[in-house]
């Protein structure tokens, strides 16, 4: 079947614009917060409202398409990635940041067809930053081309990682051990509370690499394409091929740096999406 990718893209951007308005309006107000898998895994009414807006809008435009949305999956829907066009959505990545009015948050939408990413949009409505990519057409920030740093030396790299929303002590120990490993070997390590924004920072060269354990496909689907189109490299936490459903990632401005980081990481197994 022929796909009208331009239509998919413009429809997605128009909906992201509407969703951005919802987030900006809610950002500084008091939020109704609920917990999910742990006391630090949060959801607000805005996460749900934005996900409904995006999924309903895309469903109306493209009734045969499939959807994986963070809050729908939390609500019990299956997380299945098949060959049909599938929109993978995180309505508010960095919900903890959003709750605290820490301004790094993102709407993330990736479209995959036959399991391959073809459209990626990560928008931070609070800072007015919209990162976009389409397969084979480059990556952009507010319409201007971006590229990765190309850094190959770990000793000169600025890294990003996350501490995650799991309270599993064993996992935390691995995360902290890995943090210590890198603090001793690179320029610095940052944790900003949103995988999607961290991935856009790799894509634009603001950081040289990002690694994380325990996020989900909706945290990585759009970022994968944006990084690839910006010239970056992604692999598994253990250095093997990148797998969107594995909940593990290393991405960097060069293959050499990504592989070196993966080679130093202590491993931890997780249930797949
Ligand atoms: C979370 C953020 C966080 C990461 C978690 C994610 P959410 O997404 O990306 O940085 O550490 O693993 O689940 O829940 O804020 O959309």
Backbone angles phi, psi at 225, to 5 degrees: -70, -40
Torsion of the alpha carbons at 223, 228, 231 and 237, rounded to the nearest 10: 80
* Residue minimizing CA distance to atom 12 of ligand 1: 215
Q: Structure pTM?
A: 0.98
Q: What is the ipTM of this complex?
A: 0.95
CA 139, CA 203: separation in Å to the nearest integer? 8
* Residue minimizing CA distance to atom 6 of ligand 1: 215
Measured from the Cα of 41, ligand 1's closest atom is 14
CA 142, CA 51: separation in Å to the nearest integer? 22
Around 179, how many Cα atoms within 13 Å sit in the side-chain half-sphere?
A: 16
Measured from the Cα of 91, ligand 1's closest atom is 16
The CATH 3.30.540.10 domain(s) of the chain lie at 5-145
The CATH 3.40.190.80 domain(s) of the chain lie at 154-264
Around 172, how many Cα atoms within 13 Å sit in the side-chain half-sphere?
A: 5
Distance from the CA of 3 to the center of ligand 1, in angstroms?
31
Architecture category of domain 154-264 in CATH:
3-Layer(aba) Sandwich (3.40)
DSSP 142: T
Digit-by-digit pLDDT tens for the chain (273 residues) are 799 999 999 999 999 999 999 999 999 999 999 999 999 999 999 999 999 999 999 999 999 999 999 999 999 999 999 999 999 999 999 999 999 999 999 999 999 999 999 999 999 999 999 999 999 999 999 999 999 999 999 999 999 999 999 999 999 999 999 999 999 999 999 999 999 999 999 999 999 999 999 999 999 999 999 999 999 999 999 999 999 999 999 999 999 999 999 999 999 999 999
CA 82, CA 135: separation in Å to the nearest integer? 19
pLDDT at 222: 98
* Residue minimizing CA distance to atom 4 of ligand 1: 164
Question: What CATH number should be reported for the domain whose range is 5-145?
Answer: 3.30.540.10
pLDDT at 1: 77
């Amino acid at each position: 079947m022929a796909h009208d990718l331009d239509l998919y893209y413009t429809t997605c951007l128009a909906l992201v614009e509407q969703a951005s308005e919802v987030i900006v309006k809610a950002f500084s107000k008091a939020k109704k917060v609920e917990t999910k898998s742990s006391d630090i895994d949060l959801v607000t009414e805005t996460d749900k409202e934005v996900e409904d807006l995006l999924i309903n809008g895309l469903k109306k435009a493209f009734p045969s398409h499939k959807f994986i949305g963070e809050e729908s999956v939390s609500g019990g829907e299956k997380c299945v990635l098949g060959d049909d066009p599938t929109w993978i959505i995180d309505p508010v990545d960095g919900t903890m940041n959003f709750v605290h009015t820490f301004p790094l948050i993102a709407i993330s939408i990736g479209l995959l067809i036959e399991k391959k990413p073809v459209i990626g949009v990560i928008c931070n409505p609070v800072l007015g930053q919209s990162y976009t990519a389409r397969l084979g057409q480059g990556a952009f920030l507010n319409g201007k081309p971006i590229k990765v740093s190309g850094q190959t030396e770990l000793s000169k790299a600025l890294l990003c990682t996350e501490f995650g929303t799991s309270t599993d002590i064993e996992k935390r120990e691995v995360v902290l051990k890995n943090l210590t490993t890198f603090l001793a070997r690179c320029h610095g390590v940052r944790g900003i509370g949103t995988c999607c924004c961290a991935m856009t920072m790799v894509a634009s060269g603001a950081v040289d690499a990002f690694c994380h354990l325990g996020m989900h496909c909706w945290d990585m689907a759009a970022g994968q394409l944006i990084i690839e189109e910006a010239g970056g490299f992604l692999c598994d936490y253990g250095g093997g091929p990148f797998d969107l459903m594995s909940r593990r990632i290393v991405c960097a401005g060069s293959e050499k740096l990504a592989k070196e980081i993966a080679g130093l990481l202590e491993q931890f197994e997780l249930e797949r999406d």
